[in-house]
Amino acid sequence: MKRTIQVENVKCGGCSSTLTSKLKDEFGEIEVNLEVMPREITLDIADDRIDALHTALKGLGYPVSGQSFGFIEDTSMKAKSFVSCAIGKVDNFKEGK
* Residues whose CB is less than 8 angstroms from the CB of residue 48 and which lie 6 or more positions away in sequence, other chains included: none
Q: How far apart are the first and last CA of the chain?
A: 30
Half-sphere exposure of 35 (CA within 13 A, CB side): 2
Total domains, the chain: 1
For position 56, which CATH number holds? 3.30.70.100
pLDDT for residue 30 is more than 70:
yes
Q: Determine phi and psi for 12, rounding to 5 degrees.
A: -155, -175
Give the C-alpha separation, 85 to 97, whole Å.
14
pLDDT for residue 44 is more than 90:
yes
More confident residue, 96 or 46: 46
pLDDT, averaged across the chain: 92
Which residue range forms the structural domain that includes residue 26? 2-94
78-92 per-position pLDDT tens digit = 888 888 888 888 887
Residue 82's Cα: distance from chain center in Å?
Answer: 12
